[in-house]
């Protein structure tokens, strides 16, 4: 604050956060830290209510894939978790393997992009089960932020006095001074308040699943994870999904999206068909892929369409962050890193800025260029990874 006479715009305000996902929880943890460090003059400090559609058990129990947290250029999830004091706890719970590798269909490495060591960081990347990451974030939620589980936000209205009214799934309405929208790529609130910013299909379809617990990870999963390229249009991703199981994702290009299938919702006949399709699509890949297919947990099989939201600027008293503001398909391997950085930087700007407008502008100036770049990189990977023939030759010659 430049003036000691002017009251900070957060004093005594009520904030509602939509979604206790990655961005929403990081925002709350970071806000507490910035208020403690730089916000002693913000008294009474703001009160936060977080409304989360899922139950706490669903949130930490159902998401069977892992996430790579990075420290390169635009993706600074590692550095941000360190600033929050959470990195060591996350590393202790992370999966085996510390680097990403791009393989050919025989799992011979084509590229091992490595970030040079960064001073002060114990390691430059980690792969962690999404459930573990969220469990740790939820554990560190500050006491002034109350999570209302199993209580989604069904609608929101921007009022003339600048406040926001939200409708809750339990039939109640709540009013707040600031609504932080962190409800993910399918954001209900975005479709209501910013309908022009749509979630668009970007031309790739993924079949994914994880395995039963394995006795030990087969090579190369015992030391690394990554993508494998066959040159026949079927791109493969394999990684430990936690400390005992692996996740595989095979993807292909399509002009139109496919009906999505959520894990655990398919009949045995459908599952057999999808697993037969996955076997056919991965027939050019050597071990460990056939073994991972054999060990697949049927209830984990899912089909998804790669989608994204072109990043957009915020205004008024509703601030979109994470996937709700700039969803990136999983080909970016970046969305969680972006959500972590968004939550942290929004909290920082809100505490340090002189006005809400200034805070929102400073936040958008940080998040929009990096998410545009991440989306651009995901497009390149989609194009190269699913291409036929010529790229295969190019990599083999290099
Ligand atoms: C298979 C796969 C692999 C991925 N791998 C990586 C990776 O390696 N690295 C990486 O950085 N990113 C990765 N991502 C992307 C990453 O998971 C997302 O970008 C990230 O979770 C976005 O965080 P968020 O906080 O914006 O949303 P989310 O973490 O999705 O959280 C949104 C929350 O809002 C809740 N919610 C939804 N609607 C409502 C509502 N109406 N009211 C209240 N609550 C609501 C949801 O239940 C959820 O808890 C991957 C994604 C997938 C699918």
ipTM: 0.99
State residue 3's pLDDT score: 47
Which strands make up the sheet holding 164-168, listed edge to edge? 153-158, 164-168, 173-176
Which region holds residue 120: left if phi is over 0, alpha if psi is between -120 and 50, else beta? left
Report the pLDDT value the prediction gives residue 114, as an integer from 0 to 100: 79
Q: Are 161 and 101 in contact (CB under 8 A)?
A: no
pLDDT at residue 395 tops 70: no
Beta carbon of 385 within 6 Å of any ligand 1 atom: no
Check: CB of residue 231 under 8 Å from CB of residue 388.
Answer: yes
Our answer on whether the CB atom of 184 is closer than 6 Å to any ligand 1 atom is: yes
Range 130-154 average pLDDT: 96
pLDDT of residue 397: 45
Pocket-testing residue among 94, 149, 336, ligand 1, by greatest number of atoms within 8 A of Cβ: 336
303 lines ligand 1 (CB under 6 A): no
| 210-237 CB burial, b ≥16 within 10 A, e <16 | bbeebeebbebbeebbbbbbbbbebbbb
Q: Which domains does the chain have, with CATH numbers?
A: 14-97+120-199+309-382 (3.50.50.60), 201-307+384-397 (3.30.9.30)
pLDDT tens-place string over residues 187-211? 999 999 999 999 999 999 999 999 9
Average pLDDT over residues 250-265: 96
Distance 21 CA to ligand 1 centre (A): 6
Ligand 1 within 6 A of 374 CB?
no
Q: How high is the mean pLDDT of the chain?
A: 93
239 lines ligand 1 (CB under 6 A): no
Centroid of chain to Cα 326: 11
Percent of the chain with pLDDT over 70: 95
The predicted structure's pLDDT at residue 2:
46
The answer, yes or no, to whether residue 287 has pLDDT greater than 70, is yes
Pairing mode of beta strands 153-158, 14-18: unpaired
- Tell which wins on pLDDT, 1 or 53: 53
State the distance from the centre of ligand 1 to the C-alpha of 5, rounded, in angstroms. 41
Q: Identify which has the larger pLDDT, 98 or 319.
A: 319
Ligand 1 centroid, distance to 323 Cα (angstroms): 7
* pLDDT, average across residues 27-41: 94
Average pLDDT over residues 109-116: 87
* pLDDT of 1: 47
Lowest mean pLDDT among 60-64, 184-188, 255-259: 60-64
Average pLDDT for 124-137: 94
Does ligand 1 lie within 6 Å of residue 308's CB atom?
A: no
Give the nearest ligand 1 atom to 154 CA.
Answer: 41
Mean pLDDT of 386-396: 65
Q: What is the pLDDT of residue 115?
A: 82
Residue with tokens 């006005």: 355
Residue 68 or 64, more confident = 68
Q: Is the CB of 232 under 6 A from ligand 1?
A: no
Closest ligand 1 atom to residue 25 Cα is 25
Angle between helices 22-38 and 335-352 (to 10 degrees): 30
* Closest atom, ligand 1, to C-alpha of 21: 31
Best mutation site among 184, 325, 328, 378 for ligand 1 pocket (most ligand atoms within 8 Å of CB): 184
Q: What is the pLDDT of residues 143-171, one digit of tens each?
A: 999 999 999 999 999 999 999 999 999 99
pLDDT over 90 (residue 238): yes
Indicate the pLDDT class of residue 61, thresholds 50, 70 and 90.
very low
Residue 366's pLDDT is 98
Whether 88 and 190 have beta carbons less than 8 Å apart is answered as no
Residue 113, pLDDT above cutoff 80: yes
- Ligand 1 pocket member 53 (CB < 6 A): yes
For residue 205 and ligand 1, the question of a CB distance below 6 A is answered with no
Give the pairing of strands 164-168 and 153-158. antiparallel
Give me the pLDDT at residue 58, please: 59
């Amino acid at each position: 604050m430049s003036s000691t006479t002017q009251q900070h715009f957060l004093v005594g305000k009520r904030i509602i956060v939509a979604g206790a996902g990655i961005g929403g929880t990081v925002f709350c943890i970071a806000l507490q830290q910035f208020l403690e460090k730089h916000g002693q003059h913000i008294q009474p400090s703001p009160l936060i209510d977080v409304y989360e559609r899922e139950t706490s058990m669903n949130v930490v129990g159902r998401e069977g894939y892992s996430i790579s947290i990075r420290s390169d250029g635009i993706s600074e999830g590692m550095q941000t978790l360190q600033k929050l004091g959470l990195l060591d706890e996350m590393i202790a719970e992370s999966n085996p393997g510390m680097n990403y590798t791009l393989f050919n269909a025989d799992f011979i490495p084509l590229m091992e992009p490595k970030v040079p060591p960064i001073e002060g960081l114990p390691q430059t990347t980690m792969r962690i089960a999404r459930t573990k990451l969220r469990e740790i974030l939820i554990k560190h939620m500050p006491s002034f932020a109350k999570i209302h589980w199993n209580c989604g936000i069904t609608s929101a209205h921007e009022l003339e006095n600048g406040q926001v009214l939200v409708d809750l799934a339990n039939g109640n309405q709540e009013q707040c001074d600031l609504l932080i929208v962190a409800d993910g790529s399918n954001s209900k609130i975005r479709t209501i308040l910013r309908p022009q910013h749509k979630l668009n299909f970007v031309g790739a379809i993924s079949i994914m699943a994880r395995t039963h617990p394995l006795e030990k990870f087969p090579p190369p999963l015992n030391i690394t994870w990554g993508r494998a390229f066959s040159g026949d249009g079927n791109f493969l991703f394999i990684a430990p999904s936690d400390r005992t199981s692996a996740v595989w994702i095979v993807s292909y290009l399509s002009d139109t999206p496919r009906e999505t299938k959520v894990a655990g919702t398919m009949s045995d006949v459908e599952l057999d068909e999808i697993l037969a399709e996955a076997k056919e699509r991965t027939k050019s890949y050597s071990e460990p892929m056939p073994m991972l297919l054999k060990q697949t947990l049927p209830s984990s099989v899912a089909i998804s369409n790669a989608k994204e939201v072109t990043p957009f600027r915020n205004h008024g008293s509703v601030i979109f962050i994470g996937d709700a503001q700039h969803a990136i398909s999983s080909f970016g391997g970046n969305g969680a890193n972006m959500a972590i950085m968004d939550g942290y930087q929004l909290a920082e700007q809100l505490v340090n800025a002189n006005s809400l407008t200034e805070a929102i502008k400073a936040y958008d100036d940080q998040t929009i260029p990096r998410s545009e770049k991440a989306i651009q990189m995901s497009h390149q990977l989609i194009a190269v990874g699913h291409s036929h023939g010529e790229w295969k030759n190019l990599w083999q010659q290099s």
